[in-house]
Amino acid sequence: MINNTAYLSNNGDIICFNYNGRRIRFRGPYSLVCFDHVKEWDNGYIEVMTRFSHTEELIEEYIDLVPILKNLYIDPEKFLGNIKKVEVRNV
């Protein structure tokens, strides 16, 4: 059975995207505290509610994984093709 869920997390300003045993890490804003929940997943484009150190309010942020994957020489269509849902997994 194919796992269709990927997980988004962070450790400080390092963002982790985990799917099917692979972990993609990249740097985010210095003031990133944590992700709260994913509002929308659109084949590589993530709309996520985010908490930052400079405000108590959640802020809508956008992550486009396609250029990140291309920079890492990972085929976006192959890597993202089976993902149907992204969940926040805070560590």
Residues 40-73 pLDDT 10s: 999 999 999 999 999 999 999 999 999 999 999 9
Q: What angle do CA 48, 24, 14 make, to 5 degrees?
A: 65
pTM of the model: 0.91
